[in-house]
Amino acid sequence: MKLFKTASIIIIFLAITVSFTFVMLFHTDGTNVKFQSSDMNWANSEMLYKAKGLNAIVFHFHFYKLKCDKPDVSLQRITPKPSWYQWEYWFNDYDDLKWQIPLGKVNHKTKTGYYPNSGDKEHCFNKVTSQEILEQVQVEYQQYLDQLAKNT
């Protein structure tokens, strides 16, 4: 009986130690979230382990809006919030701005999280741009993030 108690304590200790070590080694900033435009002709995804977060997504989205002359499209999140029983749920800050973006219906073209394909040279997003558009993108990008922060 004493051996069983000792083994149980050792197993619990090891489980806690391994869990803590895993979290420290593989620390995450949360779930990589996918986004798309409301016209479903543009999509992108966060890659938090590469430091590509919401700021990059919002910048590229506004770049798409201006470059493709789509002033009425909106940004949609296509990744739902994880359920409480999923690993990702416990490592997310749901006050983060990315979770404030409305959830949209996933389109088959944007399901992968990347559209248009970088090889699609005919898509307006992949054509040459001007300095004026880049400057306007910077302004709209900052206004969007400021507005999103106000709404939280």
- The answer as to whether 6 is a domain residue is no
Residues, the chain, total?
A: 152
- The answer as to whether 20 is a domain residue is no
- Domain extent, residue 93, equals 29-150
- The answer as to whether 65 is a domain residue is yes
Per-residue pLDDT tens, the chain, 152 aa: give them: 777 778 778 888 777 776 655 554 455 567 889 999 998 888 899 988 888 899 999 999 999 999 999 999 999 999 998 888 887 778 788 888 999 999 998 887 665 556 666 566 777 877 888 899 899 999 999 999 999 999 87
Question: Cβ(95)–Cβ(81) under 8 Å?
Answer: no
Task: Measure the CA–CA gap between 75 and 24, rounded to whole angstroms.
Answer: 33
- The answer as to whether 89 is a domain residue is yes
Q: What is the pTM of this model?
A: 0.73
The total of structural domains in the chain comes to 1
pLDDT at res. 2: 76
Q: Which are the contacts of 115, defined by CB distance < 8 A and separation ≥ 6?
A: 36, 41, 42, 43, 109
- The answer as to whether 78 is a domain residue is yes
- The answer as to whether 42 is a domain residue is yes
pLDDT at res. 18: 65
pLDDT at res. 35: 93
pLDDT at res. 25: 47
